[in-house]
Structure 1
Amino acid sequence: MTGNDGTGSRARAYDDGPLLLGVRHHGPGSARAVRAALDEARPRVVLIEGPPEADGLVPLAAEEDMRPPVALLAHAVDEPGCSAFWPLAEFSPEWVAIRWALEHGVPARFIDLPATHTLAWGKEEEKEKEGAAPTGPAGAGDMSSSSGPAGASGPPGGAGPALTSDPGAQPPETGEAVRVDPLAALAEAAGYDDPERWWEDVVEHRATDEHVFAPFLALGEAMEALRETYGTGGHDRDLVREAYMRLQVRSARKEFGDEVAVVCGAWHVPALRERHTVAADRALLKGLPKVKADMTWVPWTHRRLARASGYGAGIDSPGWYGHLFGVPDRPVERWMTKVAGLLRQEDRIVSSAHVIEAVRLAETLAAMRGRPLPGLTETTDAVRAVMCEGSDVPLALVHDRLVVGDVLGEVPASAPAVPLQRDLARLQRRLRLKPEALEKELELDLRKENDAERSRLLHRLRLLGVAWGESAVSRGSTGTFRETWRLRWEPELSVRVAEAGVWGTTVLSAATAKAEADAVAAQSLADVTGLAESCLLAELPDALPAVMRVLADRAALDADVGHLAQALPALVRSLRYGDVRATDTRALAEVAAGLAERVFVGLPPACAALDADAAAEMRRQVDAVHGAVGLLGEAVSAAHGDLRARWHSVLRVLSQRDTVPGVIRGRAVRLLLDDGELAGDETARLMGLVLSPGTPPTDAAAWIEGFVGGGAGGGMLLVHDERLLALVDAWLTGVPGEAFTDVLPLLRRTFSAYEPGVRRTLGELVRRGPGARGSTTATGSGAPGFADEPDLERADAVLPVLRLLLGLDEDEGVEGIEELKEMKDGGGLVGVGG
């Protein structure tokens, strides 16, 4: 065998025509073998399985800013949601072939079926499946698509339209065709029960001194035997794709002679060796559907290369494969060092001795199992035994962070992109919001301009369906000037951005147009109010008037009190944004006040004659309206009068009507008591009437659930007011035995929501009996446990602890007061005066 500078090896490489390099996609062993074979054969052109529309994008792979994993993204121009990805990692043979060609000044061309046909096929499949239950997740075959029909199917072994023809890919089941898993078939023939372990032993751990073309010859012969047995393996579209590939190979041979290297899925190699006439191949391609398609590079992630993500040609361990490819020297030792570093970051005690012992154990296990080198199975077993002390909990972290991994690729700014994508990238750079595959939490203070702009961007993207950020509960503060987001960039979001590009060329213009269109198409009043809230959060001043017009029209025509009650809280929440975001919400306040008035009029009749489920739902709506009315405050004009006083009148009506279910009547009494509109004596009288022997036990239990049930602080009310507790206790002990089983589920649901400490205190008070409260005594003429006036001395003693809980310094006293006001207005500090 001559060296790379000789001609003997090159001549032998092309003895049988073009050099066919059959690979497993995303296989580091295949990638190294491809590089060695190309170095040896030195072809004049490299042909790669992939969409030919991407030929113009190949030079971008040489740019410094291009860092795999990346993917070729194709989408229909008229329907961006119809899309497909061709993912490539650093250890993908196709990526190695592209880089080799660019480094050696050799043309690199894609020869698979054009994306214009692939996407059209996907659209036809979607139409055929419309109305039928899906048989598997999108992208279950070789192609991974975030949306649209293009990802609905795709066979293994290169039978799908993406650069993911993997002998080990698991296809979806469709029709009666027999789907073949070539990798599993070969592993079973070799006596392995795990295809991944067989592939590691045969390819990843093969001897490096053997002939560079040997693995391709062996794999090609194996695939030829499988194709003779199974034909297309249930993937008839392979015949069309392979016909197109043969035509492209012929064209390249006319231009460059036989010095042509083809890098494709091993499954296709036998078909590319077959002799077919040009006419026969063109006949298979005649009449294929097509759509106009655009293509670009987009970032990808290791996690999306994993088979668990639904990617049919995925691999189980992209992070491990990336390690094997990047660290050929002493991979096990370096891997154990990585694992130790990760566990140390999580505050686990892992020493150098652990690393040494884990390496020795992995090598011993490999020898016992007859494997040439330790694989992922051996290293995982060693990590579990030595570093994780037999626990699978830290091992799950190792699998998630290292075996799979969260590496996110990058593409250069010169890559083609829709205008909306470019505007988004500009905003991300300016606001220092870098897309990352690993989920991170972002705390925003809306009083700071940069944080406010970040918030607006994230809310606008959510309006556009680009769910980069998910809103979370803020841990440090309850004020409206705080926002917490969980950010995680997924590759599919690139498709969402392309889809959203139809609404505008910038994030602001696209979000505005989308909001206006969504308002017109909204199905319910609550949807429109939610959209109005989103417009305020995203600061879309041009869209808000259009949304408000639709809102006013819908509110005027909707006579369902339930719909009005659902819509009111979102509107009232939006009114608070005027203080933090400097938004004019006067028009919103007028609409909210109008909705509140209609709720006041229609609520009492709507609460009559409800069954248990409807009553429970109406109780939740009464709570929501109560909180909304409390927040309206001074935001409405004098023309609407005192909304709180009118709402209290409605609650009094609800509390006294026998036709209203007990759970709603009890809740109305409780809300009046909390607002100071009902005296303790009157409350005790109403409870006594309800708990009298003349009231059916189930109705009395429902009243109690409404009064002290749920997480509304009812337990603490009973702890502090012994008179109410005594009434409940006396009623409960007097319930007849035959009725007790009927009321027990209601009572259990009521009291099980209390905190353990509250339940324990109530049990102790009942055990002691009335009048034995220990050191706690009632003062004044108020009900037991409640004074006529707040005890300021005791309240002052609480302030230091409260300041500590809120994380307030002395300089933040004003801020703390504002937070407390918001909590009080929102019902968060109920019954503080006691």
Structure 2
Amino acid sequence: MPAARAGGPLLLGVRHHGPGSARAVRAALDAAAPRTVLIEGPPEADTLIPLAADPDMRPPVALLAHVVDEPGRSAFWPLAEFSPEWVAIRWALDRGVPARFIDLPATHTLAREKEEPARSPAVPAEPAVPAELTDDAVRIDPLAVLARTAGHDDPERWWEDAVEHRSGTRTDPFAPFAALEEAMGVLRGAYGGGGHARDPEREAYMRLQVRAARREFGDDVAVVCGAWHVPALRRRTTVAADRALLKGLPRVRTDMTWVPWTHRRLSRAGGYGAGIDSPGWYGHLFDAPDRPVERWMTKVARLLRDEDRMVSSAHVIEAVRLADTLAAVRGRPLAGLTETTDAVRAVMCEGSDVPLALVHDRLVVGDVLGEVPPSAPAVPLQRDLARLQKRLRIKPEPQERELELDLRGETDAGRSRLLHRLRLLGIGWGEPVASRGSTGTFRETWRLRWEPELSVRVAEAGVWGTTVLSAATARTEADAVAAPALAEVTALAERCLLARLTDALPVVMRVLADRAALDTDVGHLAQALPALVRSLRYGDVRGTDTRALAEVAAGLAERIFVGLPPACAALDAEAAEEMRRHVDAVHGAVGLLGETGLLGETGLRRGAGPSGETGLPGGAGPLGETVTASPSAGGRRGTGMRGRWHSVLRVLTGRDTVPGVLRGRAVRLLLDDGELGQEEAARLMGLVLSPGTEPGDAAAWIEGFVGGGSGGGMLLVHDERLLGLVDAWLTGVPAEAFTDVLPLLRRTFSAYEAGVRRTLGELVRRGSRARGSVATAVSGIPGFAPEPDAARADAVLPVLRLLLGPEIGPAAEPDGSAGAEESADGDDTVDADDLVGVDR
């Protein structure tokens, strides 16, 4: 009788996700041929074991348990193809042997998680460490003690040498388990009985299940569990003592299923406590027991070639030789991950860690995503999501990728709606990003990546409905009612339109109208308006009726026009900067609102809000002027919504109680819209920068007028009057005040692009004949001359000939004549004036 099963069942202590342990388990089961196999795992999953034999089941996968009434409380038991537990399950299914899980039921595990957050139950137990001991290595991983005892400072490397690289050379299939059991027995004798509060309960339940299996099958029972538990299962205890440990444990109603998993989530970097550093490498060792180094180097070469790196067969041969040499020098039985990595870096990556990082990410860790058969239990929402993914041909993938969508196509529009609805449900499969190819509203770009945790989010979202549409609708309505701020409701309305939730939109709009009517904070209204106006642009492409949204947006705009001037008075610097951002947002929103063309369709009267209330009495604007609601009048003073907004900006420019940053910003916005002439803008700047104005107020005005994000640098480049005013004021700031205004000025001008700053410096350095007027600059600096330099322009002609050919050919001159006349010496030479009519 083998030592591993002396006096009882066959106890196979393993390392979770260890390929050497997996091969050893298979060899031991083949040799022992037990009548039943007991596996560490939740017993609620016993009915799911037959699905492991389904052809559509491809590891890595995980058992997911969640509380029925609270799906967010969940736990995973991940299994890879090289996990000993998975090998034991497949061995039992292939031979028709009963297989059962014997760990503490998930109904108790999840009940305890509410009281005491813990790791996944599949995490190997940690050894108990007495209070006087501070050995972190023992606390983290008991294998570290064995590695240190053997003279290794790296537990992973010791495990490879002791188990992974020697498992195929042993003749006794039970020897590895006997050795591990002896080692763990010594450790548990030295460091106590667990180190985790649940270990005694888990091991008591396991012993009870082993006793029940022995009563049914005798001693022909094999147990596959974490090596740390083997001494506890071997210890003789009474049934009464084990049941006493389990008495009174809390319970919750749970549900369980299989879900896909990834290699990346098996790694410790992914946050899984029982993970391994290199799941891709371990998977390779399991799949390629013969010549693993040569096969690994071939994989690396194929990856680097796919990334357009020059890797030949000679590189592979030399890398294998170097890895074997390093293993021999270091006294290792076989080249491990350390040796292969060093060889790849030196031979294939030419000493660079950049391509080596790609090898580590794609191969050492890997992005393998498992698959679960459709017959696996799932909540109705999960089944509907799978149906939509199949119909829209958008497959979950573990690799991050970008997806370009053209919303004018039905398939892409459906994909967009699905992704937006999932985001409303809190399922972050995709995140919208800026489109590089187009800025049109008909195009969207998404960054997709499927993580295993999203299966929990899907189960959690199942409480809202049985389909993605119904669940997103119910969740949106509930979020709208519960939203504490007006801006959150408007953002929700925008996302509702993007997801095309027509049933939820009336509820959201009703909540939005009620909140807008009650909210008197201009800042809140200004935050809410841009999202509403952006939503109006989606109607044409997405086929959504946005007229109700336009009415609410127009009402918000009216209230902002009335309340903004008083709200801008007597603000400190921080509040003024925040209000400036609100003014910028409202300005852009008003511009879009005037372009939508929906205001005329709503039939809004001047000052009418969403329910017909009057925003401004008697149809009077902020300055008392009479205005009309004709959308075509936008952009002319005193007419239309843009005209009313321009009137508000004019109010801000003329009030001394308004902070300088807001007055300067208002002048700039009017100037950009053509509502303020250059002469008037220069006059206002001159007044602000006069000696009677405090330097701090003047600096704030400048920041508002030519702040870095507004393109103010180019404005100063092309208008020397404004540049002269700023220059003259800056040189006249008293020394005692300059230190106070310097941070504000530095923030203003440092935001300009390097080319703009350089040009401004050249302009200031050269000076001008008459500052503040349209004067012709006198310059000795190349590039800044009073008139175009014909000689410098002619210098580009040789380059043009190289680009366009030796003969530019006849081209229509401005007067309609043919191209350039031939020169006196017969050469087809052209000058700068001859290029006017060339069309190339």
Q: Any conservation in 2 of the 1:357–1:386 contact (CA below 8 Å)?
A: yes
**Which of 100, 118, 136 matches 1:153?**
118
**Which of 121, 124, 147 matches 1:165?**
124
**Which of 620, 631, 653 matches 2:651?**
653
Which amino acid letter does the alignment assign opposite residue 164 of structure 2?
E
**Which of 144, 149, 170 matches 1:184?**
144
**Which of 299, 307, 310 matches 2:271?**
310
Structure 1 counterpart of 2:68? 77
Structure 1 counterpart of 2:251? 290
Which aligned pairs between 1:45-444 and structure 2 lie closer than 5 A? Answer: 45-125=36-116, 152-154=117-119, 161-162=121-122, 164-165=123-124, 179=139, 181-206=141-166, 208-210=168-170, 211-444=172-405
Q: Any conservation in 2 of the 1:71–1:298 contact (CA below 8 Å)?
A: yes
Distance 2:174 2:126 in 1: 19
Which amino acid letter does the alignment assign opposite residue 230 of structure 2?
V
Which aligned pairs between 1:581-660 and structure 2 lie closer than 5 A? Answer: 581-633=542-594, 634-636=597-599, 637-640=603-606, 641=629, 642-660=640-658
Mapped pair 1:475 → 2:442: no
Q: Any conservation in 2 of the 1:528–1:547 contact (CA below 8 Å)?
A: yes
Distance 1:744 1:92 in 2: 64
Distance 1:739 1:393 in 2: 51
The Cα shift of 1:168 comes to 10
Distance 2:3 2:485 in 1: 72
The Cα shift of 1:776 comes to 8.3
Ranked by relative contact order (alpha carbons within 8 Å, sequence separation 6 or more), the top structure is 1
Aligned to 1:208, the other structure's residue is in SS state: helix
Aligned to 2:708, the other structure's residue is in SS state: coil
The Cα shift of 1:34 comes to 0.5
Distance 1:479 1:97 in 2: 55
* CA pair 36-43 structure 1, distance change in 2 beyond 3 A: same
Q: Any conservation in 2 of the 1:22–1:219 contact (CA below 8 Å)?
A: yes
Which aligned pairs between 1:423-502 and structure 2 lie closer than 5 A? Answer: 423-502=384-463
Distance 1:598 1:493 in 2: 42
Deviation digits for residues 754-800 of structure 1 (CA, Å, limit 9, x no counterpart): 11111111112222222328888999xxxxxxxxxxxxxxxxxxxxx
Distance 1:772 1:319 in 2: 68
**Which of 661, 675, 678 matches 2:673?**
675
Distance 2:168 2:371 in 1: 32
The Cα shift of 1:702 comes to 1.0
Aligned to 2:76, the other structure's residue is in SS state: strand
Structure 2 counterpart of 1:145? none
Distance 2:701 2:326 in 1: 67
Q: Any conservation in 2 of the 1:578–1:584 contact (CA below 8 Å)?
A: yes
Q: Any conservation in 1 of the 2:40–2:102 contact (CA below 8 Å)?
A: yes
Distance 2:111 2:3 in 1: 41
Aligned to 1:438, the other structure's residue is in SS state: coil
Q: Which runs of no fewer than 5 residues in structure 1 stay unpaired?
A: 1-8, 126-151, 155-159, 780-834
- TM-score normalised per structure 1: 0.86
Distance 1:176 1:618 in 2: 56
Distance 2:4 2:15 in 1: 20
Which amino acid letter does the alignment assign opposite residue 113 of structure 1?
L
The Cα shift of 1:236 comes to 3.1
Distance 2:216 2:194 in 1: 33
4+ residue segments displaced more than 6 Å: 166-170, 175-178, 773-779
Q: Which has the larger radius of gyration?
A: 2
- TM-score normalised per structure 2: 0.85
Which aligned pairs between 1:718-737 and structure 2 lie closer than 5 A? Answer: 718-737=716-735
The Cα shift of 1:207 comes to 5.0
Q: Any conservation in 1 of the 2:713–2:757 contact (CA below 8 Å)?
A: yes
Which amino acid letter does the alignment assign opposite residue 87 of structure 1?
P
Q: Percent identity?
A: 82
Distance 1:464 1:180 in 2: 37
Distance 2:164 2:52 in 1: 25
Mapped pair 1:751 → 2:749: yes
Q: Any conservation in 1 of the 2:320–2:343 contact (CA below 8 Å)?
A: yes
Q: Any conservation in 1 of the 2:67–2:255 contact (CA below 8 Å)?
A: yes
Distance 1:236 1:769 in 2: 79
Which amino acid letter does the alignment assign opposite residue 639 of structure 1?
R
The count of corresponding residues between Structure 1 and Structure 2 is: 735
**Which of 13, 19, 22 matches 1:22?**
13
Distance 1:57 1:650 in 2: 68
Distance 1:310 1:498 in 2: 21
Deviation digits for residues 64-100 of structure 1 (CA, Å, limit 9, x no counterpart): 1100000000000010001000000011000000011
Distance 1:389 1:766 in 2: 50
Which amino acid letter does the alignment assign opposite residue 238 of structure 1?
D
Distance 1:693 1:353 in 2: 78
Aligned to 1:74, the other structure's residue is in SS state: strand
Distance 1:385 1:351 in 2: 14
Structure 2 counterpart of 1:828? none
Which amino acid letter does the alignment assign opposite residue 102 of structure 2?
I
Deviation digits for residues 247-290 of structure 1 (CA, Å, limit 9, x no counterpart): 10111111111010000000000000011111111111111100
* CA pair 700-756 structure 1, distance change in 2 beyond 3 A: same
Distance 1:88 1:478 in 2: 44
Distance 1:392 1:662 in 2: 52
Q: Any conservation in 2 of the 1:656–1:665 contact (CA below 8 Å)?
A: yes
Aligned to 2:371, the other structure's residue is in SS state: coil
Q: Any conservation in 2 of the 1:662–1:703 contact (CA below 8 Å)?
A: yes
The Cα shift of 1:647 comes to 0.5
Distance 1:338 1:607 in 2: 65
Aligned to 2:304, the other structure's residue is in SS state: helix
The Cα shift of 1:161 comes to 2.1
The Cα shift of 1:695 comes to 1.1
Structure 2 counterpart of 1:42? 33
Q: Which runs of no fewer than 5 residues in structure 2 stay unpaired?
A: 607-628, 630-639, 769-775, 788-840
Q: Any conservation in 2 of the 1:169–1:314 contact (CA below 8 Å)?
A: no
Which amino acid letter does the alignment assign opposite residue 165 of structure 1?
P
Q: Any conservation in 1 of the 2:4–2:12 contact (CA below 8 Å)?
A: no
Distance 1:450 1:187 in 2: 56
Distance 2:452 2:552 in 1: 41
* CA pair 30-755 structure 1, distance change in 2 beyond 3 A: same
The Cα shift of 1:393 comes to 1.8
* CA pair 778-293 structure 1, distance change in 2 beyond 3 A: farther
Which aligned pairs between 1:456-605 and structure 2 lie closer than 5 A? Answer: 456-605=417-566
Deviation digits for residues 21-55 of structure 1 (CA, Å, limit 9, x no counterpart): 00000000100110111111111101000000100
Q: Any conservation in 2 of the 1:180–1:234 contact (CA below 8 Å)?
A: no
The Cα shift of 1:180 comes to 5.6
The Cα shift of 1:153 comes to 1.6
* CA pair 227-168 structure 1, distance change in 2 beyond 3 A: closer
Distance 1:521 1:614 in 2: 28
Q: Any conservation in 1 of the 2:777–2:785 contact (CA below 8 Å)?
A: no
